[in-house]
Amino acid sequence: KQEVTQIPAALSVPEGENLVLNCSFTDSAIYNLQWFRQDPGKGLTSLLLIQSSQREQTSGRLNASLDKSSGRSTLYIAASQPGDSATYLCAVRNAGNMLTFGGGTRLMVKP
């Protein structure tokens, strides 16, 4: 059974810092991995989708990498801003074509 873990569970940084969020998964036979952002009490916004054949994806200040063989992905946020404060979730798609979610990293960027 696929298990997805996100470290750290919470992170507080001053504005302007570059930061890395980690996601690990136990079964490397994935189809893709997706990073989401969730604001308090709200739905999920898709940030980046990495297919199993890809190594990384970039969107603006966000860069996500994937090392499928080691079961790891990282989300890099450059020059963090207070508006980046949210919970970040990773999810992997594997056998059965279903998503398995990590527990999330709650990020606070202080002005």
Partner 1 sequence: SAVISQKPSRDICQRGTSLTIQCQVDSQVTMMFWYRQQPGQSLTLIATANQGSEATYESGFVIDKFPISRPNLTFSTLTVSNLSPEDSSIYLCSVDQGWINTEAFFGQGTRLTVV
Which residues sit at the interface with partner 1, rule CB under 8 A?
31-32, 34, 36, 41-46, 49, 51-52, 89, 91, 93, 97-99, 101-104
Residue 79's Cβ-side half-sphere holds a number of Cα atoms within 13 Å equal to: 2
Q: How far is the CB of 94 from partner 1 (least distance, A)?
A: 9
Least separation, in Å, of the C-beta of 52 and partner 1?
A: 8
Nearer to partner 1, 15 or 39 (CB): 39
- Closest separation in Å from C-beta 31 to partner 1: 4
- Quote the least distance from Cβ 5 to partner 1, whole Å: 11
Q: Is 80 helix (H, G, I), strand (E, B) or coil?
A: coil
**Per the omega criterion (within 30 degrees of 0), is the bond before 8 cis?**
yes
- Cβ distance to partner 1 smaller for residue 20 or 29: 29
How far apart (Å, rounded) are the C-alpha atoms in residues 88 and 20? Answer: 11
Contact 93, 45 (CB under 8 A): no
Q: Which is nearer to partner 1, 42 or 110 (CB)?
A: 42
Q: How many Å apart are CA 6 and CA 93, to the nearest integer?
A: 16
